[in-house]
Chains A and B, each alone.
Chain A
């Protein structure tokens, strides 16, 4: 069975602060995939990143960066110089492939990020 824990339920920061969202996962599979999604108040989940278990390279995309550490089963997400538009619920998710193709995402409970002006 898979499990994802996002211990931070809510985070509030002031604009331009850096913020890190934590994600810890559990799985017995050696091949797995990790994702981050953003859900703004409009409701649509927006895909941010996908990582497979064999690729531990950290990634940076603009103000976003991700730190994947298999040794601690963590896949943390940092927003640098936060902006009001970053306010949203962020979900970390874990998946293993399905025999029938497609995937079953196991989501964390989400972290509500509020960026105040």
Chain B
């Protein structure tokens, strides 16, 4: 099973709202990722969790707050977003052994609109 699930599929939120995106995988992967993708652009890495610890934060604004409650779950908490944060948010997971780089499996994404 190479499935990564994400909820919700679509989200519309106001600039004062607080919401969360959820991601789940059951492949036993110990690295999980959040990406942001704007239309007609490649995904941009936001965060990397390795063995449930935040290992990379690509200078993402603090209005995005990641959380990894356990090895299968990854959340992205959203607060006071701006309209320019509207995008497709993708979660991915991969194996994580040593210095090797393994393929990442992506979820279907959450299409976020900030009004």
Residues of A within 8 A of B (CB): 31-33, 35, 37, 42-47, 50, 52, 91, 95-105, 107-110
Contacts and interface: CB of A to CB of B under 8 A. Distances in A.
Nearest to A43: B109
A46 to B, nearest CB: 8
B103 interface: yes
Given A47-B103, A47-B104, A103 B42 contact: no
Interface of B: 2, 30-31, 33, 40-43, 45, 48-51, 53, 55-56, 88, 90, 92, 94, 96-109, 111
A96 B101 contact: yes
Question: Which of A33, A44, A101, A104 gathers most chain B CB within 10 Å?
Answer: A101
A44 B101 contact: no
A33 B50 contact: no
18 contacts: A31-B99, A42-B108, A44-B106, A47-B2, A47-B104, A50-B102, A50-B103, A97-B98, A98-B56, A98-B101, A100-B48, A100-B53, A100-B55, A101-B30, A101-B50, A101-B98, A102-B31, A103-B102
Nearest to B48: A102
A83 to B, nearest CB: 22
Contact of A101 (B92, B97, B103): B97
A105 B104 contact: yes
A26 to B, nearest CB: 16
Nearest to B88: A43
Nearest to A6: B42
A103 B104 contact: yes
Contacts of A95: 101
